[in-house]
Amino acid sequence: MAITVQPITPTFAAEVGDVALDRPLAAEDLAAIRAAFTRYAVLVFPDQSFDDDSQLAFARHFGSLETTVFKARKDHKLRLHENLADVGNLGADNRILETNDRQRLYNLGNRLWHTDSSFKHLPAYCSMLHARSIPPIGGQTEFADLRAAYDALPEATKRRIAGMVAEHSIMTSRAKLGFTDFSGDERAAFKPVPQVLVRRLQDSGRMSLYIASHAGAIRGMADAEARRLLDELVAHATQRQFVYGHRWRVGDLVIWDNRCTMHRGMDFDDQRYARDMRRATVSDVAPTCEQMGLAVAAE
């Protein structure tokens, strides 16, 4: 039986059914999934019974995998495989993280609009988040369509921002929450990296904004002006008409295209309910400036 693709919104999110991703995939099913992913930037696969290995094996069909940022921290004990980002609220002992736990505070950055790994020279292409356990209320994830948001910009703004380069650092988004407790190794690993503000997607040919709360500066622009422009673009891109909110069910795998979306986690009672969410992340093919043919000096 062939897979089914059912739009959730006209052009942004779709649900893919009649496929079990934890076993070898037929080539035509993979091709249909990839075609749907190029058209929609968010795909929901309900009822997937992954273990960590099968989740990673499915992700590898899309490219090479990232290693979790927590690995840069020598004093952190990983609960999961190093290719999985542990974005829930459980510690290495599978107990709920306490309110002042460093991993919990750090993961609060996921509540800000962002795209994964734009703070890395080679940022993420797609993320694949699997729900192992969820709270009964709250804890949804919202996604914003940065292609539609770009298309809706006034022509004058499109002209103004074309060719701009922003500086992204995970320390910028964490600083917005007052989180500045970074080790020397982390500071070295998280130095700001340049990313284009506007990009053309190589597969669909569509234009997209590329913004995130990790972005703090724009090359050649005063910081105050850059911050105001970035804030305005995020506010524009996260208007209701560009946003899909996903209410999780256990077993959902949601995959999103980090090149042209932002997302954020929503609040829930994280001292009361366990939320076990595991993310495999696939790297993009080249740094964004390189993809857009911009020569950018290292800083």
Q: Summarize as ranges the residues that interact with ligand OGA (CB under 6 A).
A: 87, 110, 116, 127, 129, 141, 263, 265, 277, 279
Q: How far is the CB of 225 from ligand OGA (least distance, A)?
A: 28
Contact by Cβ (8 Å): 109, 170: yes
Q: CA dist 293 to 54, 125, 163, 287, 298, Å?
A: 36, 18, 10, 10, 15
Q: What is the three-state SS of 6-19?
A: EECCCCCEEEEECC
Q: Between 194 and 265, name the residue whose CB sits nearer to ligand OGA.
A: 265
Q: Which residue is closest to Mn ion by CB?
A: 116
Q: Between 132 and 219, name the residue whose CB sits nearer to ligand OGA.
A: 132
Q: Report how far residue 214's alpha carbon sits from residue 297's, in angstroms, rounded to the nearest whole number.
A: 20
Q: How far is the CB of 122 from Mn ion (least distance, A)?
A: 16
Q: Report how far residue 129's alpha carbon sits from residue 127's, in angstroms, rounded to the nearest whole number.
A: 6
Q: Between 40 and 113, name the residue whose CB sits nearer to Mn ion.
A: 113
Locate 236 and state its tokens. 């524009």
Q: How far is the CB of 255 from ligand OGA (least distance, A)?
A: 11
Q: Between 87 and 148, name the residue whose CB sits nearer to ligand OGA.
A: 87
Find which of Mn ion, ligand OGA, none residue 141 binds, CB within 5 to 8 Å per kind.
Answer: ligand OGA
Phi-psi region of 205 (alpha: psi -120 to 50; beta: other; left: phi over 0): left
Q: Between 96 and 165, name the residue whose CB sits nearer to ligand OGA.
A: 96
**257 belongs to the binding site for Mn ion (CB under 5 A):** no
Q: Which residue is closest to ligand OGA by CB?
A: 265
Q: Count the helices and strands in the chain (H runs, E runs).
A: 9, 15
Contact set for Mn ion, span 99-138 (CB under 5 A) = 116
Q: Report how far residue 183's alpha carbon sits from residue 9's, in angstroms, rounded to the nearest whole number.
A: 42
# binding residues, Mn ion (CB under 5 A): 1
Q: How far is the CB of 59 from Mn ion (least distance, A)?
A: 15
Q: How far is the CB of 124 from ligand OGA (least distance, A)?
A: 9
Q: Between 214 and 263, name the residue whose CB sits nearer to ligand OGA.
A: 263
Fill in the DSSP letter of residue 190.
T
Contact set for Mn ion, span 143-182 (CB under 5 A) = none
Q: How far is the CB of 195 from ligand OGA (least distance, A)?
A: 17
Fill in the DSSP letter of residue 221.
S
Residue 199 DSSP SS3 = strand
Strand partners, 144: 243, 262
Chain contacts with Mn ion (rule: CB under 5 A):
116
